[in-house]
Amino acid sequence: MNVTMLLEMAADGFGDRVVTGPRSGGLTASRLRELAAGAAGRVRESGAEAVVHLAENGPAFPVAFFAAAFAGVPLVPVNYRLGEDQLGRLLAHHPKAYGIAGEDRHEALLQAGLSVRTPADFLQAADDAAARGGAEEVQADPDATAVLIYTSGTTSEPKGVVLRHHNLTSYVLGTVEFAAAGEDEAALMSVPPYHIAAVSNVLTNLYAGRRCLTLPSFTPDGWLDLVRAEGVTNAMVVPTMLARIMDAPGLDRSVPSLRALAYGGARMPPRVIERALREWPHVDFVNAYGLTETSSTIAVLGPGDHRAALVAKDPRSRARLGSAGRPVPSVELEIRDEDGRVLPPGESGRIWVRGEQVSGEYAGHGPAVDGRGFFDTRDRGRLDDGYLFVEGRVDDTIIRGGENIAPAEIEDVLLRRPDVADAAVVGVPDDEWGQRVEAVVVPVAGAVLDPEELREHIRARLRGSKTPDRIACWPELPRTPTGKVVKRDVVTGLTAAPD
């Protein structure tokens, strides 16, 4: 199985349907296939070993994705916000690649030995080649690499995650039904193309027959305008985007066409999701948990669970709003302790997963799975009544005097307050305890936070050892463009400024 098989099916099944871009002037499934096959010829002629895409999301992205697949080489979507040094180190892995980039990045690609053209020129070249016709089709080996995605590297140097054709096609066939979307449906993707959700989104929406729109640079009013103008029915955001949509004052937040909103990529503050559920009572909310290494979603909290939790009286059902829901049927999930023993329900440990969509493989390192094929997500979590609660990265766990403290539990207490917009809890080096607990909070607009009062608030709900020794108020947290808190920058900021 190859991702081009999904494109062939879409072109055979609903070739005249617009699948990417605006309703008028967007690309139909047949046209996407033609352009991708045309561009594949160009990639093959160039002798490139990969296609590097270093640009904002737009029609060139799906064309580049399938062109790479037809040509039998990996697509490498690269973060266009990377600094010069980081970009240089990354491009050094792909000197013989076919580059697609905005003009401001051409120099960097040329220096690294790549050929380069703008997204517009790439589409033009694809069009010319398609008009000449006769591009020979090759079905890439299902074991070939379909995409190589660099992790955001919030806890270490970015690593290249290898996703093979069989990983991605298994993910699509395991979670989506062919042509299940109505002709009027349109999906809006707001995360950049170097994020796994944007990659999997190209495939899942195409396979479902849902037109796909992109928003290259997110603003709350830009997002709302586009949803209304294009009649968007499905959208995916990261939690910081939903927070900005809900928090911005004076916005018209009406979204009559919207039916489903998926979110993921970072933890959702309860305040934000509760607000959104009340603001948009007609919308189905979906929390998706997954990693780049697992070809996107491995657990889903569905619309019914969201609504049930919002009105639930008992704390157990209410707490489910903070869960990642249930594992998808095609994935097996285990919670294990540090020695690899499988833990019973309710106990916290490392989340391990197995399934066809799970690659767990890093470029140059081979698969990082155990003897039974399970991959260590390096996320902490627990299963309660079959619901997965994700408690943050194992690497972010604070070890204070031998006690393991998960920052997520303390962050949850802070984020439940109506006056706290954002919060991060970290371990700061300490001579006596090894690490001590410190926190940074961001007040909601107009609020003033008293660190002492916040500490008392936490002490009243959690143990004393989990009460931060110090709480600092910052105007915002350091986050990646896809909404993940960069904890090492929080630690640096806290240790640099004693108060």
Partner 1 sequence: MKLRPGRQLASAVDGTRMVVVRAPAEEVEVTCGGRPMVDAAEAPAPTAADPARQDGTLLGKRYADEALGIELLCTKAGQGTVEVNGAALPVKEAKPLPASD
Residue 81 makes CB contacts below 8 A (sequence gap 6+) with: 481
Question: Closer to partner 1 at the Cβ: 135 or 187?
Answer: 187
Give least dist CB 149 to partner 1, A: 14
Q: How far is the CB of 324 from partner 1 (least distance, A)?
A: 11
The distance of closest approach from Cβ of residue 26 to partner 1 in the complex, given in angstroms and rounded to an integer, is 19
Instruction: Return all residues near 366 (Cβ < 8 A) that are at least 6 apart.
Output: none
Nearer to partner 1, 169 or 348 (CB): 169
Residue 220 or 302: the one with the smaller Cβ distance to partner 1 is 302
Quick one: 239 or 427, whose CB is closer to partner 1? 239
Residue 235: CB minimum distance to partner 1, A? 10
- Contact (Cβ atoms closer than 8 angstroms) between residue 386 and residue 317: no
Q: Which lies closer to partner 1 via its Cβ, residue 175 or residue 480?
A: 175
Joined together, the tokens standing for residue 188 give 């809006």
Of 9 and 343, which CB lies nearer to partner 1 in the complex structure?
9
Q: Based on CB atoms, which residue is closest to partner 1, 5 or 447?
A: 5
Whichever of 154 and 200 has its CB closer to partner 1, that residue is 200
Q: For the chain, percent helix, then strand, then coil, each to nearest 5?
A: 35, 25, 40
Residue type, 74: P
CB of 306 to partner 1, least distance (A): 10
Query: What is the CA angle 275-238-206, rounded to 5?
Result: 115
Name the minimum Å distance from CB 64 to partner 1. 19
User: What is the three-state SS of the chain?
Assistant: CCHHHHHHHHHHHHCCCEEECCCCCCEEHHHHHHHHHHHHHHHHHHCCCEEEEECCCCCHHHHHHHHHHHHCCCEEECCCCCCHHHHHHHHCCCCCEEEEECHHHHHHHHHCCCEEECHHHHHHHHHHHHHHCCCCCCCCCCCCEEEEEECCCCCCCCCEEEEEHHHHHHHHHHHCCCCCCCCCCEEEECCCCCCHHHHHHHHHHHHHCCEEEECCCCCHHHHHHHHHHCCCCEEEECHHHHHHHHHCCCCCCCCCCCCEEEECCCCCCHHHHHHHHHHCCCCEEEEEEEEHHHCEEEEEECHHHHHHHHHCCCHHHHHHHHCCCEECCCCEEEEECCCCCECCCCCCEEEEEECCCCCCEECCCEECECCCCCEEEEEEEEEECCEEEEEEEHHHCEEECCEEECHHHHHHHHHCCCCEEEEEEEEEEECCCEEEEEEEEEECCCCCCCHHHHHHHHHCCCCHHHCCCEEEECCCCCECCCCCECHHHHHHHHHHCCC
In this complex, which beta carbon is closest to partner 1, that of residue 100 or of residue 236?
236
**CA atoms of 46 and 72, how far apart (whole Å):** 13
Minimum distance from residue 469 beta carbon to partner 1 (Å): 39
Least gap, CB of 1 to partner 1 (angstroms): 5
Binding site for partner 1 (CB under 8 A): 1, 5, 8-9, 12-13, 142, 166, 169-170, 173, 175-180, 187, 189, 197, 200-201, 204-205, 208, 210, 234, 236, 260, 262, 264, 284, 286, 288, 296-297, 300, 302-303, 328, 356
Q: How far is the CB of 198 from partner 1 (least distance, A)?
A: 8
Instruction: Name which of 99 and 327 has its Cβ closer to partner 1.
Output: 327
Q: How far is residue 415's CA from residue 112's CA, in Å, rounded to a whole number?
A: 44
Shortest reach from residue 20's CB to partner 1, in Å: 15
Q: How far is the CB of 11 from partner 1 (least distance, A)?
A: 11
Q: Least separation, in Å, of the C-beta of 304 and partner 1? A: 9
Look-up of token digits 């066939």: 173
Nearer to partner 1, 165 or 393 (CB): 165
What is the closest distance, in whole angstroms, from the C-beta atom of residue 410 to partner 1 in the complex?
28
For partner 1, the closer of residues 162 and 421 by Cβ is 162
Laid out side by side, the sheet with 434-443 consists of: 420-430, 434-443, 470-473
Closer CB to partner 1, 13 or 222, in the complex: 13
